[in-house]
Structure 1
Amino acid sequence: MRSRLWEGTRIILHLPRASSLPLAAAVEASAPAIQVPGPKGERRILLVEDNDEVAELAGQMLEGLGFTVRRAESAPSALAQLENGHAADLVFSDVVMPGGMSGIELARELARRRPGLPVVLTSGFSDGQRDGDAEGLRLLRKPYRLDELEAALAAAFGAHLPSS
């Protein structure tokens, strides 16, 4: 570290090189695909998340689990995509979002418009957990691990698989 009057402070960090795989490669290498209807690569998830960084990470995790991911940045945008013919086998949505509609309100509207479409909500806030539980919605607490995401999706699909 070096400081000089009227110039500021200069800090140089020397970090070791990572010895593990990047997240996307680690997800693909370690995650078994969830058994859901349709051939691998044709399973579609509509990811509803307003935060770019969170959406990127969640998208990588979902793709690593074998899904094709399409993103909407708000609940109204997600509804518009579904109304305009963009198909989804499941909606994975944050609870707290801009646009005047929460993930819980989105789940209610999807239940009305598209009964049988599985919805999994995620939130880092305890109020979302309480509200989701009260309505019987599946809610995954942030931050979540890959195995927790996989279990939540498997449970959602399991509840919506057609009977044989």
Structure 2
Amino acid sequence: MTHTATFNEAKQKLEHYCAYQDRCHQEVVSKLYDLGIKPPDLDEVVVHLIAHNFLNEERFACSFARGKHRIKHWGKIRIVNELKFRNISQYNINTALKEITPEEYAATFHRVTQHQWESIRETNVLKKRKKFCDYFLRKGFESNWVYEKMKELENSETE
């Protein structure tokens, strides 16, 4: 038999859960269901978390975008898709993308592409190109950037 958390237990657990790391509404609702909390108590806990600034979707989106770009080196396309998957509003997605300056974005892209190109141990040029492009498209970088950078790195290698 699973223990269903009381309203106050759930509120306390979720305060800790949100204080530890920024969360989106979807994660909080899912956690409340896991604790056995059902509407209308669920809505009341969410309102409490928002009112006491434990839950802030804009803050979540901004820290998510910063972290995924700086730590995992994700591109804007992947960040946007992941935020949409978490039901984040377009307004908050746009705000989050402003956290990454164009200069930082370009510098990260050039640094990680250079490193990745050098680390691919593939003698077949076509296979190396495919591995390189697939990797950065999966990371969510713009295709025109990826293809231009591949040509640039390939040309610099043959000189």
The reply to whether TM is greater than 0.5 is no
Length-normalised TM-score, structure 1: 0.22
Question: Which has the higher Rg, Structure 1 or Structure 2?
Answer: 2
Relative contact order: is structure 1 or structure 2 higher (C-alpha 8 Å, sep ≥ 6)?
2
Richer in helix (by share): 2
Length-normalised TM-score, structure 2: 0.23
